[in-house]
């Protein structure tokens, strides 16, 4: 979809006024390009699609909060990618919810739910986006 295209919804047609691409979202920092940051983790998790995640997910569940011991960002990212992949093998939909334990302090980890959506990238190829359940 490009600016100026016509989109039909029901019986009505609308002109596309603006488009915000995946590449722009990555450039702006709205999405984090996981495949380029950690290609080894994506590959080892058995994920064949390009992977990005929202900055909210990255900040909350990948970045290690100051003062938290025994954690590193690669281990936290691995947990997300691996547990996504486990759930995805059983899924039949393009959008799934999956859970993992995350520890953002030096106490007990808490169970969190994330969402993964498989959809087209800017070129129309399948890609994966990991986000919070409240995000679109």
- Please state the domain count of the chain: 1
Asked if residue 9 is part of any domain, the answer here is: no
pLDDT, residue 95, reads: 95
Q: Which residue has the higher pLDDT, 38 or 92?
A: 38
- Domain span at residue 50 reads 21-131
Asked whether residue 60 carries a pLDDT value surpassing 70, the answer given is: yes
Q: Are 60 and 134 in contact (CB under 8 A)?
A: no
Asked whether residue 50 carries a pLDDT value surpassing 90, the answer given is: yes
Asked whether residue 7 carries a pLDDT value surpassing 90, the answer given is: no
Asked if residue 4 is part of any domain, the answer here is: no
Asked if residue 3 is part of any domain, the answer here is: no
């Amino acid at each position: 979809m490009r600016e100026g295209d016509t989109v039909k919804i029901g019986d009505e047609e609308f002109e596309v006024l603006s488009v915000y691409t995946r590449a722009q979202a990555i450039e702006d920092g709205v999405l984090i390009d996981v495949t380029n940051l950690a290609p080894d983790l994506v590959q080892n998790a058995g994920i064949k699609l390009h992977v990005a995640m929202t900055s909210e997910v990255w900040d909350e569940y990948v970045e290690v909060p100051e003062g938290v011991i025994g954690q590193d960002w690669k281990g936290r990212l691995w947990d997300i990618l691996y547990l996504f992949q486990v759930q995805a093998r059983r899924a039949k939909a393009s959008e799934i919810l999956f859970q993992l334990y995350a520890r953002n302090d030096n106490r007990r980890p808490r169970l969190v739910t994330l969402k993964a959506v498989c959809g087209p990238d800017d070129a129309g190829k399948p890609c994966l986006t990991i986000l919070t359940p409240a995000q679109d």
